[in-house]
Amino acid sequence: MMTAALDHYRARMIRVLDHIDRRLDDDLDLETVSGVAAFSKFHFHRQFAATFGLSLHRYVQLARLRRASRRLEAGDGSVTDIAMEAGYETPDAFARAFRQRFNQSPSRFRKSPDWASWLQALGPMNAARSKLMPMTYDAAAVTIREVDPVRVALFEHRGDPSSIDATIQRFIAWRKTMGLSPRTSPTFNIWHSERRPADPADYRMDLCVGVGPDRQVEGDGVREGQIPGGRCAVLRVTGDTHNLEPAAQFLYREWLPGSGEEMRDFPIYCQRLFLDEPERGAAADLFLPLR
């Protein structure tokens, strides 16, 4: 009985986060959001904070600023337009809130994002989501595709994953210098180890961007590589793609044993995608190479 009640409570809170994700342009005040969960507005703000570790107001602000930062980095609209879409009455108010959270002005972020501060600022929101929104997957969502090989510019990260921010910043800076927008040039992560190996020094991941055959690959820390073509099991993850390990574990532990397939000698990898509706969040296709 207790388990059923807890599951019902969790479902109502998940409904709240889903509503926020889809309605970032709407009024997300306490009365509206508590009504989505069918909780009393007099207690809901305490329930939300107790469940997720941050207030409803802060969660909504971070969600809107995350969307705004993505649009800034992609060059999608003016700072004024992005400020209005984020719910701020003036660009100055938006700039103050953005600087408070990310330690950069919107214009500075657009030119040279400080991804370490960005990831740290969004940490509470990502932690909140992971508490009640563990993704579940179904074998029917997995497709098998024949994919073409992709020539890539590759940045290697080797060692403690807590230091990966520096690698990410170098990768993004190089990609921007070369004019390789993530909306037009495919972006990949290749994992050579578990997300949290027993020894952090064993962590290995590559950050890659697809490049044409005539593009010269040169620069500090970058080298030419290739993602080979062939058959792959593909699982799409939408919404929060901060942690793709549950999806990878599903492919390895559940889908693969029941599929009759065998893995090819190439690591699991993902392609980062951009949805037509940014308010829906991010997306990623996870590829498990098959024989």
Q: What is the CATH number of the domain that holds 41?
A: 1.10.10.60
Phi, psi values for residue 40, rounded to 5°: -65, 130
User: What is the rounded CA–CA span in Å between residue 285 and residue 272?
Assistant: 7
Same-domain check for residues 24 and 101: yes
Same-domain check for residues 191 and 257: yes
Q: How confident is the model at residue 169, as a pLDDT?
A: 83
Summarize pLDDT for 136-176 with one digit per residue, the tens.
788 899 999 999 999 999 999 999 887 887 888 888 888 88
Q: What share of the chain in percent tops pLDDT 90?
A: 35
Contacts of 34 (CB under 8 A, 6+ apart): 40, 41, 44
Summarize pLDDT for 13-44 with one digit per residue, the tens.
888 888 898 889 888 988 889 888 888 888 88
Same-domain check for residues 154 and 115: no
Same-domain check for residues 113 and 147: no
User: What is the rounded CA–CA span in Å between residue 132 and residue 42?
Assistant: 22
Q: What share of the chain in percent tops pLDDT 70?
A: 93
Q: How confident is the model at residue 257, as a pLDDT?
A: 93
Return mean pLDDT, the chain: 86
Same-domain check for residues 49 and 171: no
Q: Are residues 238 and 281 in contact, defined by beta-carbon separation less than 8 angstroms?
A: yes
Q: How confident is the model at residue 135, as a pLDDT?
A: 64
Q: b/e string for 233-269 if b means 16 or more Cβ within 10 A?
A: bbbbbebbbeebeebbebbeeebbeeeeeeeeeebbb
CATH number at residue 164: 3.20.80.10
- Domain ends where: 100, 132, 164? 132
**Whether residue 1 has pLDDT greater than 50:** no
The residue whose two tokens read 């019902």 is: 8
**Whether residue 127 has pLDDT greater than 90:** no
Same-domain check for residues 168 and 212: yes
Same-domain check for residues 104 and 164: no
- Domain ends where: 132, 150, 168? 132
- Domain ends where: 79, 107, 132? 132
- Rounded alpha-carbon distances, angstroms, from residue 143 to 57, 179, 188, 263, 269: 39, 32, 19, 15, 15
Q: How confident is the model at residue 280, as a pLDDT?
A: 43
**Whether residue 132 has pLDDT greater than 80:** no
C-alpha triplet 210, 270, 184: angle, nearest 5°: 35
Least Cα distance to 264 among 281, 284, 288 occurs for 288
When divided into structural domains, the chain yields a total of 2
Same-domain check for residues 173 and 264: yes
User: What residue spans of the chain are helical by DSSP H?
Assistant: 2-22, 30-37, 41-52, 56-73, 79-85, 91-102, 106-111, 115-132, 164-177, 245-250, 256-259
Summarize pLDDT for 46-60 with one digit per residue, the tens.
888 888 888 999 999
Q: Which domain holds residue 262?
A: 139-289
Q: How confident is the model at residue 157, as a pLDDT?
A: 93
Same-domain check for residues 260 and 163: yes
Same-domain check for residues 283 and 145: yes
Same-domain check for residues 44 and 122: yes
User: What is the rounded CA–CA span in Å between residue 149 and residue 229?
Assistant: 4
Same-domain check for residues 216 and 158: yes
